[in-house]
Amino acid sequence: MSLTEQPEAEPAAEAAQEHLRDRISADSLTTRRDYLRIVATVSGGLALGGVGVAAGILHRHGDSENLPETRKVADQLLPGQSVAFRFPGDEDRAVAVRLVDGTLVGYSAVCTHLACAVLWRADRGPEGELYCPCHEGVFDARTGEVAAGPPPRPLPRIFLTEQLDGSIWAVATARSGEPAKDALCRQFADARPDMTERLGCPGATPAPVNGQT
Ligand code: FES
């Protein structure tokens, strides 16, 4: 045998290599199978969530007829900033945004397509956007209306107030596309007759003046 000739592989070494090849292909099969199962589970969950929402089985943002408990959202929110919070219930994802011109807006952060989480992207467009990464859904930051992608309805609105100390509070919600006055009249009806009168809600009774009934 010359110095450049390779020795023939020993039978034992060949068997070991064969075994290793089998292990590698078995592992990659397992990994692929697991991956597909995870994807199917996630996709199935999303699809079920969408069907559940469409069929009215699952809770939808703003479904409550009653005035929710007021909740503090942030100590302060500067232009271009956002904060995630839960409202009206502990399971209801929501987002508050201070637009660059100072306007404060709040929305449900549950996409109206298949209920994925909606994210705030400050660096998109002149005033940012609300974005759903599941299927590239985009919502207008100022109105909550659908700007792109498959979502069928605007994001439900959350009504926010700002106190003198700069703190921000969530006070009420609207259903997707529901006019603000209708939403507030619906929720203030029993709890805040003074507010329903000020808003001019249908059926509002005048509040008593100077203790008169
Ligand atoms: S879940 Fe499909 S775009 Fe949001």
Lowest mean pLDDT: which of 100-104, 105-109, 184-188? 184-188
The count of other CB atoms within 10 Å of the CB of residue 23 is 10
| Test site for ligand 1: of 135, 138, 146, most ligand atoms within 8 A of the Cβ | 135
Contact, 75 vs 96, CB < 8 A? no
Residue ranges per domain, the chain? 11-58, 71-199
Residue 14: predicted pLDDT: 61
Kindly report the average pLDDT of the chain as a whole number. Answer: 76
In the reported structure, the alpha carbon of residue 110 is separated from the centroid of ligand 1 by a whole-number distance in angstroms of 9
- Single-letter code of the amino acid located at 152: P
- Note the pLDDT of residue 31: 38
Residue with tokens 């592992």: 27
Instruction: List the beta strands (DSSP E) in 60-128.
Output: 71-74, 82-86, 93-98, 104-108, 119-121
What mean pLDDT do residues 71-93 have?
Answer: 94
Q: What is the pLDDT of residues 111-156, one digit of tens each?
A: 999 999 999 999 998 889 999 999 999 999 999 999 999 999 999 9
CA 173, CA 181: separation in Å to the nearest integer? 11
Q: What's the pLDDT score for residue 112?
A: 96
CATH architecture, range 71-199: 3-layer Sandwich (2.102)
- Enumerate residues lining ligand 1, CB below 6 A: 111, 113-114, 116, 132, 134-135, 137, 149-151
What is the reported pLDDT for 60? 59
**CA-to-CA distance for 105 and 121, rounded, in angstroms?**
14
Average pLDDT over residues 166-195: 88
Task: Note the pLDDT of residue 7.
Answer: 43
Distances (CA, A) of 164 to 75, 126, 158, 160, 169: 11, 28, 20, 13, 12
Q: Does the predicted model carry a pTM greater than 0.75?
A: no
pLDDT of residue 17: 53
- CA 100 to ligand 1 centroid distance, Å: 26
Which tokens go with 99? Answer: 């637009």
Note the pLDDT of residue 61: 59
